[in-house]
Chains A and B, each alone.
Chain A
Amino acid sequence: MSGTTEQSPSPRDVGFSINRRQVLIGGAGAASAAALLAACGSDAKTTPATTGGATGGTTAGTTAATSGAAAGGEVTFGSNYSDAKPKEAMQAAIDSTGLKVKVNTTDHNSYQGNITNYLAQPDDVLCWFAGYRMRFFADKGLVGDISDVWSKFTDFGDSFKTASTGNDGKQYFVPLYYYPWAVHYRKSVFAEKGYKVPTNKAELVALATKMQADGLIPFAYANDGKWPVQGTFDILNMRVNGYKYHVDLLAGKEKWTDPKTKAVFTAWAELLPFHQTNANGRTWQEAATSLEKKEAGMYYLGTFVATNSKDQAYLDDLDFFNFPALDDKIGADALDAPIDGFMMAAKPKNIEGAKALLAGLGTAKAVDAFLKIEGASVAANGKADTSGYNAIQKKSQELVSKAKNIAQFLDRDTSPDFVSNVIGDAFAAFVADPTQVDTILKGIEDKKSTYLS
């Protein structure tokens, strides 16, 4: 919020309601912390070598020998879990590994905004996100190869391994948990009006039309901060063109002016009349409230949709379904489910300890300890204890385990620069006036080469 680029929320950012005062105080703190971080970063002239990615195996022996004696086995851990509850949860996960860890916590906004400076002199192990945002740093040699840690993991599904793999085929990331995006609705509203969960486009349109006739807004909609509608684009692209085209487009391999891309916007424009108007000036929290108040029938958002509500009856009434297939040939087996986890520094001071910590954090025990306190997301580890899950957590896990492909959300799947400078404005302009689609898509394509080359 304070000077950092607005991005889709990390589960912990939205997992707990924070009051306005905390946000403001946090903002002030973030600004000063940012200045400090930036100062540290620019002083550090000894930037890691570009060959950082290759240090893993070859220098492991010597590094461990020297640092083992010096640090006494202590591992430093850079955390952006700065709010009280997530901080406690992360500490519990670290404690479960039984290692000696020194945790350096930074406000999450400034952590993300200053990640590049931070990575010039990082802690041994650090918190980050899967997807392009991880692969970008792996390509730059700013984070370390942890393929040998991954070779011992047995509890993760293939989709998590793919999400942890850099462009060079090596692993750089250990996933901890995730949350999926889905269409949320109130069971009581659906029961009362006799609505059925749609499974294809015709049913979806029929349902939305019926809702309008019943005086409901079919889809709640918001775009304050310019990231929420990126979710709509993601899911429509994955339903219209499939997962492969989606990631290729975001990686810059396909054209935004391609007729296939335009088809996504055609589908979007078709569904837009079923969405709440004036989305650009509404926060997702306000849109979520209209779902809660039964003004809107559905809301396509991450499962954090109800985290601001204290009304247990509403929480029990809430349910979600997978966004239906729009094209039978493409199906509905891909979705957005952002994953949070950890990376290792390119040249950690204590490489043995760092790898041991990453291995420990990849266990079911660690994520169990984390979710016991955090209690909103879903464990990435397949052997995690799910007995304490609430209905939404259980359903999330079921949904994601059925998915063939998991995308990370648009601003995690492409260059964050490209999103904050080009895509955010372009999508907001489209939502404001869908007739401008050709100009908007040409604008994106023209600007793309500046950010993705």
Chain B
Amino acid sequence: MSTDITSPDITAAAPPHRGRRRRYSQLSRSDKVWLSLMVGIPSAIHIAFVWLPAIGTIMLSFTKWDGIHLGTWTGVGFKNYWTIFTVFDDKFFPALFNNLILLVFLAACSLVGVLLAYLLDKGVRGSAIYQSIYYLPVVLSLAVVGFIWKSVMYSQSQGLFNVGRTTPIDFLGNSQKLFEFHVPFLSFPLGLTKNFAALLLAMAWRHIGYVMVLYLAGLKSVDPSLREAASIDGCNEWQTFRRVVFPVMKPINVVVLVITVIEALRAFDIIVALKEPIGTTVLGVLVKNNLTGEGGGQVGIGSAYGVILLLLCLGFIIWYLINNYREQEL
């Protein structure tokens, strides 16, 4: 025991057996305090501001509440979900489908962004100018992007896309569908409305630049000797990218993927900023409309929409984590 006295941090702890003591001895007592603080404080904040509200939302989704007096909620079981899937099905499913379209579309935009980044990285003449042009929209919030496209591009009376037309095109008000298809259990068709397509265009304007800058930064950091080696081995352009550059860029690829999915699920600001034209609703808008605003709202139904959105996000997050950890172990 005399050896223990020389290291006070261990005597303070409950008498441990030998194996554990050796492992713990690498951290001093203050290390441990700092570590627990550094882990504990963010965890506490995370739990308090993310998970407690999330659990609260889940609980509220099983109640009927006007949001005015605390404690006046009454449990209604799964009725809110039932209402969403039966009475509000013509709002919910088109919104879900719009989120899905957004995901596919933004993924395509990401690919364009990657392509642009690759071309610019090749040292095109005036690449700094191109970079600035593509990057410019990224500094704007999506709401501002919406305002710009609404008044400068799409306006029926003064929009750039309507200049010189005798019968102006109603880009943002036209909810006719570009394509539609029937789903067996729904009484109405799902499809892509023309005004949502117009919004997609505005979003692409920003998203492509965003992905391009991220990817460009990544490409700059790729070791040139890798490419040299690839070309010495006789790889062509595509093979070099697919077999050498792309795998090296894995961290950036993951970031781009995550950003694309998050943008697709949370996209809501541009739609709200444009006063929610019909046919452009996404899940986030439904959550907002039922929870906030005058009159207290339908907290139960709004929460139920929120829970559905949470489950969709969780699905992606779990898939991502599993994938990520599995590769780290290998």
Residue of A nearest to B275 (CB): A225
Q: How many of chain B's residues touch chain A, expressed as a range?
A: 35 or more
Q: Say whether B296 contacts A45, CB under 8 Å.
A: no
Closest A-chain residue to B144, C-beta based?
A: A24
Of listed A7, A223, A278, residue having the most chain B CB within 10 A: A278
Distance in Å: Cβ of A45 to nearest Cβ of chain B: 7
Establish whether residues A417 and B156, one from each chain, have CB atoms under 8 Å apart when the complex forms: no
In contact, A443 and B90 (Cβ under 8 angstroms): yes
A280 and B174 contact, CB distance less than 8 A: yes
A142-B68, A447-B88 known; A116+B295 contact, CB < 8 A? yes
From A27, A47, A113, contact of B70 by CB (8 A)? A47
Contact B68 A3 (CB under 8 A): no
- Decide: B170 and A280 in contact? CB cutoff 8 A: yes
14 contacts between A and B (CB under 8 A): A20-B151, A47-B69, A50-B69, A142-B68, A226-B276, A280-B173, A281-B156, A281-B173, A281-B174, A417-B296, A417-B297, A432-B176, A443-B90, A450-B87
Q: Nearest CB to that of A295 among chain B residues? A: B157
Considering only CB atoms, which chain B residue lies closest to A227 in the complex? Answer: B275
Q: How far is the CA of A27 from the CA of B70 in the complex (A)?
A: 29
Of B12-20, B234-242, B286-294, the segment with at least 4 beta carbons within 8 Å of chain A is B286-294
Q: Does B191 contact A (CB under 8 A)?
A: no
Looking across the interface, which residue of chain A has its beta carbon closest to that of B297?
A417
Interface size class of A (residues with CB under 8 A): 35 or more
Chain A residues positioned under 8 Å from B278 (CB to CB): 226, 280, 425, 428-429, 432
Nearest CB of chain B from residue A436's CB, rounded to whole Å: 10
In whole angstroms, how far apart are the Cα atoms of A47 and B65 in the complex?
A: 15
Contacts of A199 in B (CB 8 A): none
* Contact between chains at A417 and B290 (CB < 8 Å): yes
Q: How far is the CA of A421 from the CA of B313 in the complex (A)?
A: 24
> Do A280 and B175 have beta carbons less than 8 Å apart?
yes
Interface of B toward A, CB cutoff 8 Å: 66-70, 83, 87-88, 90-91, 143-144, 147, 151, 154-157, 168, 170-176, 195, 272-273, 275-278, 281, 288-290, 292-298, 301
Classify the secondary structure of B's interface with A.
Answer: loop
Whether A3 lies near B292 (C-beta < 8 A) is yes
Given the known interface contacts A3-B292, A116-B296, A420-B293, the answer about A429 and B168 at a Cβ–Cβ threshold of 8 Å is no
Task: Give Cα distance in the complex from A6 to B176, angstroms.
Answer: 23
Say yes or no: B172 contacts A417, CB within 8 Å. no
Does the CB pair A279–B173 fall under 8 Å? Answer: yes
In the complex, what residue of chain B is closest to A443 when comparing beta carbons?
B90
Q: B143 to chain A: which residues have CB within 8 Å?
A: 2, 27
Q: Which residues of B contact A142 (CB under 8 A)?
A: 68
User: A415 an interface residue at 8 Å Cβ cutoff?
Assistant: yes
Q: Is A55 an interface residue (CB 8 A)?
A: no
Bound complex: CA A122 to CA B155 (Å): 41
In the bound complex, do residue B294 and residue A113 qualify as a contact, i.e. CB atoms below 8 Å apart? Answer: yes
A282 near B297 (CB under 8 angstroms)?
no
